[in-house]
């Protein structure tokens, strides 16, 4: 079983996204990074022009991303994108030179290669409508963020037309998320995996 990291990108702990994240994580026996509980500045103030040190919570996020074999991101679709909380996390955490770099020929190289991904998106919009408007959240997060940094393949799960679902259908989604997490966790992990960052290792003699 691989090391699974799940990122909850919704600012509301009572959201459907949060419930799906928790169920998926239970099924995968995963470590969960709940972004709303972290303490960090969302704004990358000068881009990459000047250094901006990582807060302790983001430094731990780096450690968890290095540890993970599989990274799952759960987010709602807001205004064709993601909440500012998740976007700010990407801006601050996926640093140039750590998550990606540009080679001498100008082509980008993802430095988080060797990890697989899962993107789960909730939306009030119906599933058939999303491709008509470009499916922008999936293109942004899967293609231009996760896979750009080397996390691939990144599979997509859509929980669409949320407002049109019955409570029974929502509960079915919650149960199925645990099965999805178990299936993702059962895929082989990378050889020589690192120990979890929270494991206290004995001091050298």
3-state secondary structure of 155: strand
Dist CA 180 CA 189 (whole Å): 16
* Mean of pLDDT over the chain: 93
pLDDT, tens only, 1-19? 689 999 999 999 999 999 9
Domain locations along the chain: 4-185
3-state secondary structure of 122: strand
For the chain, the first-to-last Cα distance in angstroms comes to: 31
Query: Are 6 and 74 contacting, i.e. CB atoms less than 8 angstroms apart?
Result: yes
Stretch 48-54: mean pLDDT:
94
pLDDT, tens only, 94-146? 999 999 999 999 999 999 999 999 999 999 988 777 787 788 999 999 999 99
Q: What's this model's pTM, rounded to 2 decimal places? A: 0.93
pLDDT at 29: 97
Gyration radius (Cα) of the chain, Å: 17
3-state secondary structure of 54: coil
Q: Which two tokens stand for residue 17?
A: 């996204």
Dist CA 11 CA 76 (whole Å): 10
pLDDT at 1: 60
Does the domain at 4-185 match CATH 3.40.50.360? Answer given as: yes
Stretch 26-49: mean pLDDT:
97
Query: Are 69 and 4 contacting, i.e. CB atoms less than 8 angstroms apart?
Result: yes
């Amino acid at each position: 079983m691989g090391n699974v990291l799940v990122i909850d990108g919704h600012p509301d702990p009572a959201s459907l996204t949060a419930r799906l994240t928790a169920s998926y994580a239970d099924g995968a026996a995963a470590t969960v990074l709940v972004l709303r509980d972290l303490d960090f500045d969302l704004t990358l103030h000068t881009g990459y022009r000047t250094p901006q040190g990582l807060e302790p919570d983001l430094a731990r996020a780096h450690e968890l991303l290095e540890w993970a074999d599989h990274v799952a991101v759960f987010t709602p679709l807001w205004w064709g994108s993601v909440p500012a909380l998740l976007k700010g996390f990407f801006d601050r955490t996926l640093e140039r030179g750590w998550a990606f770099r540009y080679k001498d020929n100008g082509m980008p190289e993802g430095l988080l290669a060797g990890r697989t991904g899962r993107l789960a998106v909730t939306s009030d919009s119906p599933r058939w409508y999303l491709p008509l408007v470009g499916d922008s959240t999936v293109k942004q997060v899967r293609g231009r963020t996760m896979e750009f940094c080397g996390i691939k393949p990144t599979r997509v799960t859509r929980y669409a037309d949320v407002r049109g679902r019955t409570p029974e259908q929502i509960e079915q989604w919650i149960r199925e998320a645990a099965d999805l997490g178990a299936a993702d966790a059962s895929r082989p992990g990378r050889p020589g995996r690192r120990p979890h960052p929270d494991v206290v290792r004995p001091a050298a003699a």
